[in-house]
Chains A and B, each alone.
Chain A
Amino acid sequence: MINLGSYLAISFALFVCGILVMIARKNIIAMLLGIELILNASALNFAAYTKFTNNNLDGHIVSLFIIVIAAAEAAVGLGIVIRFFQLRESIHIDDAATLQN
């Protein structure tokens, strides 16, 4: 039986995975993927809440916007990563440490 609870459980699992990726992985591309996981978790939440509890379209619209914005953010993020790679020849987050003192 698929109810609201199952959707919320999946989205929570996605969210936790995203946070764990951000903490544990050192590869910048993987970290960008982690951000996508977090955004998708919330998009799923919005859609699920609209389907099961709220009788308005707000949630569907928000999840559509989230997909668009996730794409924009990934484009900008990858652009910056490419520039960083050209300068450092590395996509390891530990190499981004010149600014700390």
Chain B
Amino acid sequence: MYLNYLANVGRYIPELLLVVLMIGIIILETTYAEDEKNKKYVFILTCVGLVATFASLVANMSGKAEAIFSNSMIIDPFSTVMKMVMVLGTLGAVYLSTISKDIYESLKTEFIIMAIGVLIGGMILASANNMLMLYLGIETLSIISYVMASLKKNDERSSEAGLKYALFGGVSSGIMLFGMSHMFGVLGTIQFSGMAANIAKLDHTQMLIMMPSFVLFFAGIGYKIAAVPFHMWSPDVYEGSPTPVTTFFAIVPKLAGISALIRVTMIFFLTPSALRVGWVGLMMIMAALTMTVGNVTAIGQKSVKRMLAYSSISHAGIMIAGLVMINDIGVRAVVFYGITYLFMTLVAFYVTSIVQDKYGNDHFERFQGLIYRYPFMGIVMSVVMFSLTGLPPLAGFVAKFNILNALINSKYYSLAIILALNSVISAFYYLKIVRLMTLKTQESNEEIEGFGFLNQVIIIVMTAPVLILGIFWDSIMGLAEGAKIFIK
């Protein structure tokens, strides 16, 4: 029994590496924190650790799906791909935190430690195979996120963001747990596979208990991915948190929530049942609302960071829309969407963060004439904005196209039309930035220090996948195809 855990140690090396890395950084920070020079070593160590984690995840890709820890976690290609995306997102946010002025110099190591903690939670969530691990994953993710949101501890807005996040988060995870407890009571076990098998045997009364329980359960996951109507915390938290934290929140917790939603949907609702009809209906309403509310509210924003927060809400809606048909084509499209979303979000937040550091705020006017002063950055930002809108031949177009394809394949025409209309609405505010950067002249001649050569190189490297995935997307779709969930 005990030896079983050691026998498949090869499958959870990525998680082990991250835990060791986190402990190592805590020891480094507490022992050698006085010397300013040591901060650099912490950063280098983090990069090495995250790259090593990524490499071990790549090595895990080839293995077949395997349940570890008495079936409580499952390591399969799907969870491995989602973990890879999350590790890359963390790496991006960690680099941004070292160049950003939005986090106090003395707190940068703490940001790194907590980011790794949230990443571990996200990885547990991505491979959760029973209710307990799902809950533990969500809570590891959330509790550390509350602290991250209030990282700027002398700033009223940051504390307020953390407070709101903690209150909303506590209630919604409690609500989710209440739903879970009734699911456990009726279905008799906390293992996903056992629960899914028992769904078919429910009688009428049990079905009546299960319906509201699943709604409560969905509320908890919907909160984590900021689906409307559980999105109220998201713009406030995104705006109040320091920019690197916002970048991190837009990627890691959101994708972890999406992967949990994918797993739950694909395990419980593969076979037709009354619950499946309800769940699909719930997801359709949620997807349509999330896309529309996110996009429409984004139009009126003055702050680019808040605008990006609303746009990330609408992207979550599009990803939920890719799940309503509950088949492999949809899941593949969502995984691909997640990969492109990672790069587009990172670039958009990097440019916004640097502009905000130079000018002191992130209002739209600060982007005026950016392209004349920093041609590369202007071009890169325009490319990303076009890609977020979904114009060919960029990655955002392919990602949206795949989801539309999956929707039309399964005859969900109404949702497909809503998605297409939403792309049009989103063009309004994404292209507003492009218009400000190219057509307006800058508002003052005041000289600001530049982006820095290294930062520009990194931003351009991160934009490359947006261009490459738009044209050569078959190969990465092959990867996403390997990531289909293998549950039998």
Residues of A in contact with B (beta carbons under 8 Å apart): 11, 15, 18-19, 22, 28, 31-32, 34-35, 38-39, 41-42, 45-46, 48-49, 53-54, 56, 58-59, 61-62, 65-66, 69, 72-73, 76-77, 79-81, 83-84, 87-88, 93, 96, 98-101
Q: Within the complex, which residue of A28, A54, A87 is in contact with B189, where a contact is CB–CB below 8 Å?
A: A54
Interface presence of B483 (CB below 8 A):
no
Residues of B within 8 A of A79 (CB): 147
What residues on A are CB-neighbors of B162 within 8 Å? 80, 83
Which of B147, B180, B188 has the most C-beta atoms of chain A within 10 angstroms of its own C-beta? B188
Could you tell me if A98 and B157 are in contact, using CB atoms closer than 8 angstroms?
yes
Chain B at the A interface: SS class: helix
| CB-CB under 8 A for A42 and B167, given A53-B188, A62-B184, A87-B156 | no
17 extra interface residue pairs, beta carbon distance < 8 Å, beyond A31-B167, A42-B177, A73-B170: A35-B170, A35-B171, A45-B178, A49-B181, A58-B189, A62-B132, A62-B184, A62-B190, A72-B143, A77-B166, A80-B147, A84-B159, A96-B160, A96-B163, A99-B164, A99-B236, A101-B302
Please state if A61 and B132 are interface contacts (CB–CB under 8 Å). Answer: yes
Binding site for A on B (CB under 8 A): 131-132, 135-136, 139, 143, 146-147, 150, 153-154, 156-157, 159-164, 166-167, 170-171, 174-175, 177-178, 180-182, 184-185, 188-190, 236, 239-240, 302
Contact (Cβ within 8 A) B166 A99:
no
A18 x B174 contact (CB < 8 A): yes
- Given A65-B135, A87-B159, A77:B146 Cβ within 8 A: yes
User: Across the interface, which residues of B come within 8 angstroms of A28, CB to CB?
Assistant: 163, 167
Q: Contacts A28-B163, A62-B132, A96-B160 given: A46-B184 contact, CB under 8 Å? A: yes
Which 5 A-B pairs have CB atoms at the shortest separation, nearest pair first? A38-B174, A45-B181, A49-B185, A35-B170, A42-B177
Cβ of A54: which chain B residues have Cβ within 8 Å of it?
Answer: 184-185, 188-189
Q: How far is A93 from B160 in the complex, measured between Cα atoms in Å?
A: 10
Question: CB < 8 Å: which of B150, B184, B239 contacts A99?
Answer: B239
A58 and B190 form a contact (CB under 8 A): yes
A42 CB, nearest partner CB in chain B, Å: 4
15 residue pairs of the A-B complex, CB under 8 angstroms, read: A31-B167, A38-B174, A38-B178, A41-B174, A54-B188, A56-B188, A58-B184, A61-B132, A62-B181, A66-B135, A69-B139, A72-B139, A76-B166, A77-B170, A96-B164
